[in-house]
Structure 1
Amino acid sequence: MKTSIETERLILRELLLSDVDGMFEMDSNPNVHRFVGKKPLTHIDESLDQIKKIQEQYKKNGIGRWAVILKETNEFIGWSGIKLISNEINNHQNFYEIGYRFIEKHWGKGYATEAGKAFITYAFNEMKVEALYAYADEGNENSRKILEKLGLRYINSFEYEEELEVWYELKNPNIY
């Protein structure tokens, strides 16, 4: 597994325990959690636990969400990346999902799209996955626009954890 990926403005790398302050800033913001469970974190130890769980995913699955670092300032601005989902969602199981989450002051600057493109290239060319999937709250127009910019296409709507979600897919062009 690669240890980092660089884009024009970003460094994408595995999450470190030292990212805890940025993770907590992001995940304690109710606006960030508006479309992801509406449960902002209330204590920094919760962020530390999340990082440790993601680090376990690296060991177990060889992949997981990575920190997104702004090259210009070396600042943690969020996470993005590929995650192996082993539980069943929308009749899919053991699939690779692309996702992202950013600190609010970094929204609308194209970072999710820039990081997402790099992870799609990595997933298809290095990991050789057959397809990437993503799902979002049906009302999360901004996330849906990002998924569409990344080339994922809408497949269907479904209910998950008592919320209406939308399902997206992108097949590996090197295989299909």
Structure 2
Amino acid sequence: MDLILETDRLLLRELQLSDAEAFFAMDNNPNVHKYLWNKPVQKIEETIEVISLVRQQYIDNGIGRFAMISKETNEFVGWAGLKYNTVAVNNKVNFYDIGYRLDDKFWGKGYASEATFAWLHYAFENMNIKTMEAAAHSDNAASNRILQKIGMQLTEQYLEDGVSWNWYQLENENIK
């Protein structure tokens, strides 16, 4: 893929194996996994496998999660982007979702909102996606706020492995 998105402060580009060390540091952090079943990644090999799976999604689906890189410092901030889900989530399959994960040192600075606004615009304007979906842990106030900020509407709650999640949707007004 030759896709790169830019925002005021971020470069959004394909995840590369060279991101593995910074990605691992983020995913090994218990704070980052507080609302992700409290299961931080333990080995960098797990991170390498995730990056390889995402890179395969680029090939199979033409999209996937992208690295968020600070333009100012060139640091790996986290990832954000679109995913085409072929495995059921909330009893839904074959849908696009928008997601993000940031290293905790970048929380509260507006990076997730900045990246998701860019991805939502790309999804609706360039990919003509009819409906965007997203999920956030019900107790994760910051993540829920981000999804609401970009205009997504809470449509339901569901349980997965005993954890309550909020389900969001947003219709592309350009598609009737």
Q: What is the TM-score normalised by the length of structure 1?
A: 0.97
Q: Answer yes or no: is 1:27 the counterpart of 2:22.
A: no
- Any idea what the Cα deviations from partners look like across 1:33-54, whole Å, max 9, x if unmatched? 0111211011111111110110
Structure 1 runs, 4 residues or longer, greater than 3 Å off? none
Q: What is the TM-score normalised by the length of structure 2?
A: 0.97
Aligned partner of residue 22 in structure 1, secondary structure: helix
CA distance in 2, matches of 1:162, 1:86: 22
Tell me by how many angstroms 1:151 deviates: 0.5
Opposite residue 148 of structure 1, the aligned amino acid is Q
Tell me by how many angstroms 1:2 deviates: 4.6
Task: Decide which moves more: 35-44 or 111-120.
Answer: 35-44
Q: Describe how 1:1-176 pairs up with structure 2 within 5 A.
A: 2-176=2-176
Percent of matched pairs sharing the same residue: 46
- Any idea what the Cα deviations from partners look like across 1:124-156, whole Å, max 9, x if unmatched? 011111011001111111100000001101001
Opposite residue 8 of structure 2, the aligned amino acid is E
Q: What is the alpha-carbon root mean square deviation over aligned residues? A: 1.0
CA distance in 2, matches of 1:161, 1:12: 32
Tell me by how many angstroms 1:74 deviates: 1.1
Tell me by how many angstroms 1:161 deviates: 2.5
Unaligned residue ranges in structure 2 (runs of 5+): none
Task: Decide which moves more: 149-158 or 159-168.
Answer: 159-168
CA distance in 1, matches of 2:37, 2:80: 18
Tell me by how many angstroms 1:87 deviates: 1.7
The count of residues paired between Structure 1 and Structure 2 equals 176
Task: Decide which moves more: 60-69 or 37-46.
Answer: 37-46
Opposite residue 132 of structure 1, the aligned amino acid is M
Task: Decide which moves more: 13-22 or 85-94.
Answer: 85-94
Aligned partner of residue 109 in structure 1, secondary structure: coil
CA distance in 1, matches of 2:125, 2:71: 24
